[in-house]
A and B are shown apart, each in its own frame.
Chain A
Amino acid sequence: MTQANDYETDEAENIQAPPRRGLFRRRAAPLLPEAGAAGAPLTAVIAVMSFLAVLAMASLLMVNRATSEWTSALRSEITVQVKGASPADIESGVDAVLRVLNETDGVLEAKEKSREETAELLDPWLGEGNAAAFLTIPAIIEVKAAPALRDNLDLLRNRLTTAAPGATLDDHARWHDRLSGAARSGQAMAFGVFILVMGAACAISIFASRAGLAANHEIVSVLHLVGATDGFIAAEVQRRFFILGLRGALIGLVAALAALVLAGLAVRAGGAADNFLPSLRLGGWMILWLAAAPAATCLVTALTARLTVLKTLSKQY
């Protein structure tokens, strides 16, 4: 300001150090005032949204993992059942079936399940030990098949039926399809909840940013009059909402992780079937996926605030 020099007084000789950013230095205040107590409810709501988003994401991951485990087990195995009028018929049928299987390319392993094990499968319905006493238990041969063979089982099915008329081949397709259908429903539901949570975060952000603009109308007006662009003001609001959102997202993430760990411990303590209920082991990638949910909530909140501000300001002069 050279033009001011003509009017400098003694005061000018003692120029104070202006505020500077940095450690141990005064930090410049944001151009929009801190939300203070008004920010707490918004942080709380975003924390709840993030909590729900993490749970929705965890559900999605659990369903995915369970489906993957179940269907891969089903897809890698086929079962051959050999029925007969008498145990001798069944024995000869089993021999013929094993011969065919051993000669077939793509059969990785063929193993007959013992009759005792097979009979035990019927115990829940017939009572312990009763199946073997009253029924001719069919033989069950578990076969591990290569993918190429699984994709074309008709030829093997015909050869088995020719070798042993009582032999039937089950590729578990019916169960696989049902499981896949159920899994898709579960995935769609979890994804739907996730989208709803994001939508709710959007709505809250729109409401809060409009209220914030109204409350800071004078400040926004001054910023405009000294030459601020809408983008500059929107960036200030976005930064504010990002910080509030980040705070809420972290609270929600920690709370959700704690809830998941507690739920996991409760399931384990209750002795729920380890092999049936899907598990959620919190490994590296799993944590990243779960953290993505609150991060998305935070970003959606900040971006929505920015767009809302831009739209609102565009209606002003």
Chain B
Amino acid sequence: MEAVRHDNREIVRFEKAGLAYEDAPETLTDVTMTLKEGEFRFLTGPSGAGKTSLLKLIYLAHKPTRGRFFLFGENAAEAPREALPALRRRIGVVFQEFRLLDHLTAYENVALPMKVAGVNQNQYREDVSELLNWVGLGDRMHANPPTLSGGEKQRVALARALVSKPDLILADEPTGNVDPAMGERIMKLFVELNKLGAAVIVATHDLHLVQSIGKPVLRIANGKVTRSAGAGGAA
């Protein structure tokens, strides 16, 4: 992120959006929320409440079945397919289940967003190496995910999400598989990236983490998003 953007630019905007998987009842109901540039939100709620589904809507894995959804000012719910890759490249996602490609090395997994964007390897080689070193995997660069521990995989997933310097960072339980020290480092990195202008949403169960960082919280329960007064105030 090269410069801090204007605070009032909306990154995410939902208006009475709903999501239903096929004929099942709605997983998300009447979601109305906004996330502006430079904002940081925790997303909390019980298991099965819809945290991951909300993130999936934002990172364009699913389309809302009703309502309106704007991403980076674009009407993402009605955007043509051809417009989606450019939007997705502006988002860095740390998936809860990592979603690393087992046949690629840690280095190649981290470099994936740059490669699909057509960036020359010379331009990202050092960034990828640096990130992997930062997450403590400098010596496992050539290892394939099946040979990595859960924590190592999570750190590779984190590096992959950040390598393209995204405008929006989404993290689904990003500290779930790492030790407390590494968890704290990861959260501090998110905060720093947020200070540099990236909007951040972190879904987590870890209320201690939420309190220690002191950022606003979105609560989700039974598919409905509510605002709760986090340490940093309501959204």
Contacts and interface: CB of A to CB of B under 8 A. Distances in A.
Contact of B160 (A19, A224, A226): A226
Interface in A2-40: 3-4, 6-9, 11-12, 14-21, 26, 28-29, 31, 33-34
A226 B160 CA distance: 9
Given A3-B192, A29-B108, A232-B116, A222 B133 contact: no
B104 interface: yes
Contacts of A16: 129, 133, 138-139, 141
Chain B CB within 10 A, most for which of A9, A16, A29: A16
Interface string B135-167: 010110110000000000000000010111100
Contact of A226 (B63, B105, B113, B121): B113
A29 B85 contact: no
Interface residues of B, number: 52
B142 A19 contact: yes
B185 interface: yes
B40 interface: no
A158 interface: no
B134 A222 contact: no
B104 A31 contact: yes
Interface residues of A, number: 38
A3 B185 CA distance: 13
Contacts of B84: 224, 317
Contact of A225 (B60, B103, B134): B60
5 interchain residue pairs of minimum CB distance: A227-B89, A228-B116, A33-B103, A226-B113, A227-B88
Given A3-B196, A18-B141, A19-B142, 16 more contacts: A1-B134, A3-B1, A3-B193, A4-B130, A8-B133, A12-B130, A16-B129, A18-B128, A19-B141, A20-B125, A28-B108, A34-B103, A218-B99, A225-B59, A226-B160, A229-B82
12 contacts: A3-B192, A8-B130, A14-B133, A16-B129, A29-B103, A31-B116, A221-B99, A222-B99, A225-B99, A227-B113, A227-B117, A314-B81
